[in-house]
Amino acid sequence: MHGRVHKNLNVTHLDLKIIRSLPIEKMKNLKIVHFCGNFGDPLMHPDLDDIIDMFQRQQIEISTNASLRSQQWWSDLGKKKNVSVTFCIDGIGHEHELYRRNTSYEKIIDNAKAFLEAGGLAIWQFIVFRHNQHQIDEAKKLSHDMGFKKIEFRFSDRFDTHNKWKVFDNGVYQYDLEKASHQTTLRESLYVPEGEKYWKVLNKNKGQITCVASQRKKIYIHSDGTVYPCCQLGSVQSGKDVEKLMLKKIVKDFKKVDLHWVNFEQILKSDFFQKNLPASLKQDPFSHPICIEWCNKATGKYYNQNLTSVDIP
């Protein structure tokens, strides 16, 4: 927040012991494991190599800014047949580094080359802003020439109240990021003027909530060991106080969804997963604002054309 680490952010790696305790052998339907940073980047994890080796029978998808680790490491990764990597490269050259601050475009491209030359399966994800929208065709060509399987263009959901986003470094304003000129934000599609929050309109016109994570049989483990259906709910802990308070009312006891205290099976059988969350989706006694924002069928982000940066493809 404003170029500083948010005071409530629990900066931690998911404990290797916790991952080892997962009953992976019993999970016959576990097909895909996705390492996605919610606030961080999976390549920062010191035990990443061990973790990758734990999921021999699953397809592993890694989403990363890729400005980390040596070319040798990337080359070794490229030889693993069950791994694919999404490289988050938002522009070519300097343009990339305006959003992905303190990463190196040159290093990322070198890493991607090492991975691709070793036979790795790579996807290029490109978030389109005004400052990089002129590079779309060039990026398409480069991704093809380098051997990426595909390139996916997305919009950012940072522009929820304004069409500009102020970038800070340690509290000092640097520059504005602007939404792409052809992006229609959720606020705009709800006819909410710039500067105003869209929440009231989104909530007023909401439809029934259908949990997309449940529908797609996905589950999310947060870096602190707590388990939720999706990363959006997992990120509430570092968000607005009112959202934290409401999540606490639904979860009741966080130890009961925390792999430091109970096992995975107990969590799936917990009141949170079996009763409280399903009831809350039916507004009993209330629905969590995050579930309304993402999963209500009328105005929710998953069901809206404004689908932006999400963990569920």
**Binding of ligand SF4 at residue 259 (CB under 6 A)?**
no
Q: Map the footprint of ligand SF4 across residues 111-140, applying CB under 6 A.
A: none
Residue type, 54: M
Q: Map the footprint of ligand SF4 across residues 272-311, applying CB under 6 A.
A: 281, 290-291, 294-295
> Of 91 and 289, which has the nearer Cβ to ligand SF4?
289
Taken in order 19, 21, 25, 26, the sign of the CA dihedral is negative
Question: Buried (b) or exposed (e) across 156-176, using 16+ Cβ within 10 A?
Answer: bbbbbbbbebebeeeeeeeee
> Of 66 and 212, which has the nearer Cβ to ligand SF4?
212
Tell which one of 232, 235, 237, 270 touches ligand SF4 (CB under 6 A).
232
* Least distance from ligand SF4 to the Cβ atom of residue 72, Å: 38
Among 110, 90, 109, 86, which Cα is nearest to 98's? 90
**Start-to-end Cα distance in the chain:** 27
**Binding of ligand SF4 at residue 233 (CB under 6 A)?**
yes
**Binding of ligand SF4 at residue 19 (CB under 6 A)?**
no
> Of 108 and 267, which has the nearer Cβ to ligand SF4?
267
Q: Which two tokens stand for residue 213?
A: 């994570």
Judging by DSSP bridges, how do beta strands 220-221 and 227-228 pair with one another?
antiparallel
> Of 141 and 216, which has the nearer Cβ to ligand SF4?
216
Distance (Å) of CA 44 to CA 20, 92, 172, 223, 270 = 18, 23, 26, 12, 31
Among 81, 82, 292, 126, which Cα is nearest to 198's? 292
Residue type, 252: K
* Least distance from ligand SF4 to the Cβ atom of residue 103, Å: 29
Binding mask 211-230 for ligand SF4 (x = CB under 6 A): xxx---------------xx
| Contact of 272 with 256, CB cutoff 8 Å | yes
Tell which one of 209, 221, 236, 247 touches ligand SF4 (CB under 6 A).
209
Q: Map the footprint of ligand SF4 across residues 175-194, applying CB under 6 A.
A: none
Q: Which residues bind ligand SF4 (CB under 6 A)?
A: 209, 211-213, 229-230, 232-233, 281, 290-291, 294-295
